[in-house]
A and B are shown apart, each in its own frame.
Chain A
Amino acid sequence: MSRTNWFSVQTELSPKAKTVLGILSFVLPILVWSIVSYVPAVWHPLVQITDPGSVSYLQVDMRMPRGPFEDVVKEAEAEGQAPPQGFPANPVYLPAPHEVASALYTAFVTPPPSRDMPWLHESLWHSIQVIFWGFFLSSAIGVPLGVLCGAYAPISRLTEPFVEFFRYLPAPAFGALAVAILGIYDGPKIAIIFIGTFFQQVLIIANTTRKLDGALTEAALTLGAGNLQLLTRVVVPGVLPDLYRDLRILLGWAWTYLIVAELIGTTSGITWFITQQARYQHFENVYAAIIIIGIIGLGTDLVLGMLAKRFFPWDRNGK
């Protein structure tokens, strides 16, 4: 067995090393988080009160900075009264891993505070629908337009300069406008995801299309392909695996617009859940919700990646 050279440039890893490193990439951050949460010597800037002792303004479970707490203890001892008791703690906004883990479960089974409010899974489903429609509408126009821009220079020149300008305009800035036009429910949210995705999409798809090997279109021409056939039978199938990869990346971006989109009009979806939980300082639920978004995003991408291998068996760059 030769020793693995980890740092040789552009070298493939063995499948085993890939799996191990992939798992480590998750384990390491969780490990750091666990150390910060469970080792009292690390960070823990606060003290969580277990017994207020003689101090009237302290309550059980209250957290206060360590310095003032020690002052209070000294004061009480000096006066010969019962000192307050407590243990080192982190701020509420950093719950421990096990708290978040159990919140991942309890958040789904805890009924909403009032009847007309949605359960967590209903909020999530609502978010997924907003993403889907925003991304679908954007792709339905953006992909064909991008391919046409990549294939035909006049369409590119007529479209891309404006698109290039528009993509610098921050999508959330159109929030108020979108509400005025589309009302306060899902319309403006879908519109924000559309605006955030569409303009990037046209440019990225156009560039991908332009990268098609010109020798393939020339070969098709010498075989008698007409202009339209060149588009449908060479350009489109030729760039399809790359377009698919682009769409996977763009779908990830669409998720990043979700939270702003859901704050527009009436707050809805997973954002509503997160803001509610944060208001009541249930930060373990906030983290749980954020992690769920991550899991949905990563899961979708993994599934799409596996489908890609099915769809494009000839694609050598597919990973």
Chain B
Amino acid sequence: MNAEKTLPSYLEQSDAVRERFERLKARPKILEVKGLDKVFETPKGQTVALKDIHFETHRREFLCVVGPSGCGKSTLIRILAGLDAQTGGDVLLEGKPVKGPGRDRGMVFQGYTLFPWLSVKRNVMFGLTVNGMGFQEAERQALQWLALIGLEKFAEAYPHQLSGGMKQRVAIARALANQPRILLMDEPFGALDAQTRAKMQAHLLEIWRKIDITIVFITHDLDEAIYLADRVLVLKAHPGEVQELIEVPVPHPRKMEQFISDEFLATKARLEELIYAYEEKEEGADEDEYDYPDMPRLVEVGDSVD
């Protein structure tokens, strides 16, 4: 699978990238996660979903979280959002512990969660009006956010009239309208087709560049993680623990063409090593090697597709 030519190490950073990371780390910390544990009590016993998670993000950082299925990514982000409570450890937002959900942390879910009974504009206004803003001011701001995501024309449409990609754009606008300190995204583009997904990624980077927002973004798509992230947090499963926090050496601004750059490929090779090596080890526990079962041939001998 590895290319013929030897890739540079993913740890090697150009001067520009190194300086950028120095600036990033000099910015104040927005989110600190300290010794986070989450244990689910199930009838079959305890499931340790997260164990001793440590990490922090700085203002305007884009952090991606990757890991094998079931490693606790969703659990982590739900705790950050305040939708679930941790069983141990602390989550600090600008130094203050997180208790329950709040408007300082916006969230975009994988499924579509726009309110079907509200027009697109009213969906974006929802967070503003529940927090006490007057109707007219909320409407004015909502229209601005819709302009930012390029959906002003759909202000009066209902969610069921939008495509999947448009729905997620509105969901992003709805979360951002509250001007949260941090935007949490749980595989927001997972249900979209490849083309729409690529557009949404570029769009998200554009929004992130323009406004003061820190993003924690969950994905299982490694290309997506490298393309979007300043740093990638790699988790492992059973129990969910931090494997590595990788500084992505791909320079900014990000472009689609960088997908074949050396830095990109080196980072991807490292992520694959961490995730698949680990997955193989998991599976190898009960089976030495995965063989296809013996399948009987159901077509005539001469009838070949090769």
Residues of A within 8 A of B (CB): 213, 215-216, 218-226, 229, 233-234, 237-238, 240, 312-316
A265–B293 Cα distance when bound, in Å, is 77
B160 touching A316, Cβ below 8 Å: yes
Selected from A216, A222, A237, A240, the residue in CB contact (under 8 A) with B101 is A222
Selected from B127, B158, B174, the residue in CB contact (under 8 A) with A313 is B158
Find chain B residues with CB under 8 A from A240 CB. 117
A312 touching B130, Cβ below 8 Å: no
A218 touching B103, Cβ below 8 Å: no
Given the contacts A215-B109, A314-B116, A224 and B130 also touching, CB distance less than 8 Å = yes
A314 touching B83, Cβ below 8 Å: no
Complex A-B: 25 CB contacts under 8 Å: A213-B113, A215-B111, A218-B107, A218-B109, A219-B113, A219-B115, A221-B82, A221-B83, A221-B101, A222-B82, A222-B83, A222-B102, A222-B105, A223-B106, A223-B126, A223-B175, A223-B178, A224-B102, A224-B130, A234-B115, A238-B115, A314-B117, A314-B158, A316-B116, A316-B160
Distance of A8 from chain B, by nearest CB (Å): 25
A224–B160 Cα distance when bound, in Å, is 24
Selected from B113, B126, B160, B171, the residue in CB contact (under 8 A) with A218 is B113
> Does B159 sit at the interface, judged by CB under 8 A?
yes
B117 touching A222, Cβ below 8 Å: no
Find chain B residues with CB under 8 A from A226 CB. 130
B 164-207 to A, binary, CB cutoff 8 A, 1 in contact else 0: 00000001001100100000100000000000000000000000
CB-based nearest A residue for B171: A219
Find chain A residues with CB under 8 A from B184 CB. 222
Find chain A residues with CB under 8 A from B107 CB. 218-219, 222
> Does B131 sit at the interface, judged by CB under 8 A?
yes
Distance of A24 from chain B, by nearest CB (Å): 32
A108–B115 Cα distance when bound, in Å, is 50
B 88-113 to A, binary, CB cutoff 8 A, 1 in contact else 0: 00000000000011110111010101
> Does B81 sit at the interface, judged by CB under 8 A?
yes
Find chain A residues with CB under 8 A from B174 CB. 223
Distance of B155 from chain A, by nearest CB (Å): 15
A221–B107 Cα distance when bound, in Å, is 10
Instruction: Kindly name the residue among B113, B159, B184 whose own CB sees the greatest number of chain A CB atoms within 10 A.
Output: B113
B 116-127 to A, binary, CB cutoff 8 A, 1 in contact else 0: 111000000011
B side interface size, CB within 8 A? 29
Distance of A69 from chain B, by nearest CB (Å): 68
Find chain B residues with CB under 8 A from A312 CB. 117
Distance of A107 from chain B, by nearest CB (Å): 45
A274–B100 Cα distance when bound, in Å, is 62
Given the contacts A238-B115, A314-B117, A220 and B83 also touching, CB distance less than 8 Å = no
Selected from B100, B117, B127, B160, the residue in CB contact (under 8 A) with A223 is B127
A218–B106 Cα distance when bound, in Å, is 11
Find chain B residues with CB under 8 A from A229 CB. 130
A222–B185 Cα distance when bound, in Å, is 12
Given the contacts A218-B83, A314-B159, A316-B160, A223 and B113 also touching, CB distance less than 8 Å = no
A215–B106 Cα distance when bound, in Å, is 14
Find chain B residues with CB under 8 A from A316 CB. 116, 160
Find chain A residues with CB under 8 A from B103 CB. 222-224
Instruction: Kindly name the residue among B81, B107, B116, B117 whose own CB sees the greatest number of chain A CB atoms within 10 A.
Output: B117
Given the contacts A219-B113, A221-B101, A240-B117, A233 and B81 also touching, CB distance less than 8 Å = no
A216–B118 Cα distance when bound, in Å, is 12
A112–B174 Cα distance when bound, in Å, is 66
Find chain A residues with CB under 8 A from B115 CB. 216, 219-220, 234, 237-238
Find chain A residues with CB under 8 A from B81 CB. 222
Instruction: Kindly name the residue among B100, B106, B111, B126 whose own CB sees the greatest number of chain A CB atoms within 10 A.
Output: B126
Distance of B144 from chain A, by nearest CB (Å): 17
CB-based nearest B residue for A232: B130
Find chain B residues with CB under 8 A from A216 CB. 113, 115
